[in-house]
A and B are shown apart, each in its own frame.
Chain A
Amino acid sequence: MDAQLKKGLIEICVVVALKEKDSYGYQIIKDISGSIQLSESTLYPILKRLEAGGCVTTYTLEHNGRLRKYYRLTEKGRDRIREFLTEWQDVMKVYRFIAASERTKGIPGKEEIYE
């Protein structure tokens, strides 16, 4: 997958992983690895960017004698989910157009796009 596209997708997956409850690095990776493949090193700059953009805040809690950093989603972060879903409706339109053109081997008409 295109690197920039993947980063954007991982970012929104992280936001969703934090939607219901605060979470921490390892847990976030476990939660979203099912949908998209990512490593610790990919996640780190994404978390930094989300924090810099005001989409998440952080706090530290003690766990088993060591410190663990937790991430909390802000209102601005929640808005990103709505933005993503709206943006990708247009992406899906283009996808259906391309897929339909593959079936019809040409420019598809409106009915063929939604087949």
Chain B
Amino acid sequence: MNKEQFLKALQDALKKLPMEERLRTISYYGELIDDRIENGENEYAVIESLGTVAGIAGDILSEEGKSLSQKSRSGPGVGTIILLVLGFPLWGTFLLVGAVLLLVIFILIFVPVLVLGSVALACLAAALLGLVGTPFLALEVGVAGFPSVLFQIGLSLAALGLSLLSAVGLFYTATGTARAAKAIWMGCISLFHKRRGSL
């Protein structure tokens, strides 16, 4: 085989390589053959000493395979990224709906706490106002208006009781609500971690 035949055969054997790699290989061997010929060696002897085209191509292809598998392990490929970008209108919408649902759930969880808290505060305020105002009422209506005074005191005490009940209820639901909210939040985060792992 002469130099041209050798390089042509090598080029054919490396068809699977990307063109840039193939050209680089051919020019490497072409250059080396030329250098050896320039230094007085016989063309055919040089080609002989290089070994078989199949052998050389085999080594190069296996090296290329090794370096490629190392590259693809690092992170999502270009194809994956393109799919994600193109599909954004679809999964983006679902993501948005999911986020809104999550917000609604969070708000709903806190409703009992808010209600109980408001009731407790409102009733406490009413009770205090009622109790504080009772002496003034008594002074105004006198003995004849004693039932009203009694009514006011009773109502204030009832409000106080309701306030206390609400406060107790608030105490018990607050810890449960906090735990539930935290659990839901952790659940969402773990979903995201799983997805990132599979990419």
Interface residues, chain A, with chain B CB atoms under 8 Å away: 24-27, 29, 39-41, 44-45, 48, 52, 64, 66-69
Contacts and interface: CB of A to CB of B under 8 A. Distances in A.
A41 to B, nearest CB: 5
Contacts, number: 44
Q: Is the interface of A mostly helix, strand, loop or mixed?
A: helix
Interface residues of B, number: 20
Given A26-B32, A26-B36, A64-B38, A41 B50 contact: yes
A26 B35 contact: yes
Contacts of B32: 25-26, 29, 40
A66 B31 contact: yes
Q: Is the interface of B mostly helix, strand, loop or mixed?
A: helix
Contact of A67 (B25, B27, B36): B27
Contact of A41 (B27, B38, B59, B67): B59
Nearest to B46: A40
A40 B31 CA distance: 11
Contact of B56 (A27, A41, A48): A41
Contacts of B49: 39
Contacts of B25: 44
Interface string B39-77: 100000000011100011001100100010000000000
